[in-house]
């Protein structure tokens, strides 16, 4: 590229804009350019395969973790260099800007049971929830509610809807409870939205002996784990775009959550394991400790 534009622009300018070392460029002109070994070419191909597999969602850390998991001895510096060589750059989420929930519903609030408490040490002890807006092509909005296990970051239940009625949070909670059968005392934490204090949800709380919890007033960081989920989901799934309609949103979110996020996506907070893998390791270790 530098060579093809050299007649129109200064070499120095081109090298700065294209992030190319002038020394490297002149070596290239002399025929002394760096050539990859067969092993390095193989590593380059592996990096690109993982990058494409995860649809530009993985940066060098997660690519390194996945390749090391498969037995390839690549360090993060090597992976980063290989990515830069071919211009691979992961999708970046927008800065986390929490949106304050309208809590003027007058239905009362639950106390925050997570204040000052350590993160849970096992699955199904704390589930957190939130609702987010889904932009549609016609200019209208759909809505997504999810319940996430705070131990493994697994999304245990979710629901897409055209409105923010109470069932948007109640239906996925009921399904998650039936599927996971948590012990008595599970904490369910949310912001101060009216959906989380509805009559229907109170009945679910009573039947399953749950412990409801809510963020403090005007402090959305109390529910930051759920909020950051939306930041990542929208960055990786939409990239600033929109869904065609509600049906399209459901299909895309199903694939993202059930096929990708829970089963494959590696989380830095989980030691670069997926939520499913993190839980499986927990139960394997628990079984081994009992058998000793």
Mean pLDDT of the chain: 87
Architecture of the structural domain at 126-290:
2-Layer Sandwich (3.30)
Residues 100-136 pLDDT 10s: 355 566 677 889 999 888 999 999 999 999 999 888 8
| Residue 166 neighbours by CB distance under 10 Å | 17
pLDDT confidence tier of residue 222, bands split at 50, 70 and 90: low
CA distances from 191 to 207, 216, 283 (A): 22, 8, 30
CB contact set of 18 (below 8 Å; sequence gap of 6+): 1, 2
Looking at the chain, the domain(s) classified CATH 3.30.420.10 span 126-290
- Residue 256 backbone class (left: φ over 0; alpha: ψ -120 to 50; beta: rest): alpha
Q: pTM for this one?
A: 0.72
Summarize the confidence of residues 271-275 as an average pLDDT.
94
DSSP reduced 3-state for 238: coil
């Amino acid at each position: 590229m530098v060579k093809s534009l050299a007649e129109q622009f200064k070499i120095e300018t081109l090298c700065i804009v294209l992030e190319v070392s002038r020394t490297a460029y002149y070596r290239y002109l002399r025929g002394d350019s760096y050539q990859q070994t067969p092993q390095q070419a193989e590593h380059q191909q592996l990096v690109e395969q993982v990058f494409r597999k995860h649809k530009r969602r993985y940066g060098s850390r997660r690519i390194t973790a996945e390749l090391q998991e498969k037995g390839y001895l690549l360090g993060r510096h090597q992976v980063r260099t290989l990515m830069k060589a071919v211009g691979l750059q992961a999708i970046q989420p927008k800065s986390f800007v929490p949106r304050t929930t309208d809590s003027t519903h007058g239905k009362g609030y639950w106390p925050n049971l997570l204040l000052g408490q350590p993160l849970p040490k096992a699955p199904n002890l704390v589930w957190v929830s939130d609702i987010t807006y889904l932009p549609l092509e016609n200019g209208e909005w759909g809505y997504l509610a999810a319940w996430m296990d705070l131990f493994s970051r697994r999304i245990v239940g979710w629901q897409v809807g055209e409105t923010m009625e109470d069932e948007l949070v109640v239906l996925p909670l009921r399904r998650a409870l039936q599927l996971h059968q948590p012990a008595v005392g599970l904490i369910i934490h949310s912001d101060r939205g009216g959906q989380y204090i509805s009559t229907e949800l109170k009945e679910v709380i009573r039947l399953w002996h749950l412990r409801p919890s809510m963020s403090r007033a005007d402090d959305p960081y109390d529910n930051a784990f759920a909020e950051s989920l939306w930041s990542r989901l929208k960055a990786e799934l939409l990239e600033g775009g929109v869904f065609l309609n509600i049906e399209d949103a459901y299909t895309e979110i199903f694939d993202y959550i059930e096929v990708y996020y829970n089963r494959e996506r590696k989380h830095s907070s989980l030691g670069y394991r997926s939520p499913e893998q993190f839980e499986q390791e927990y139960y394997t270790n628990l079984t081994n400790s009992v058998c000793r």
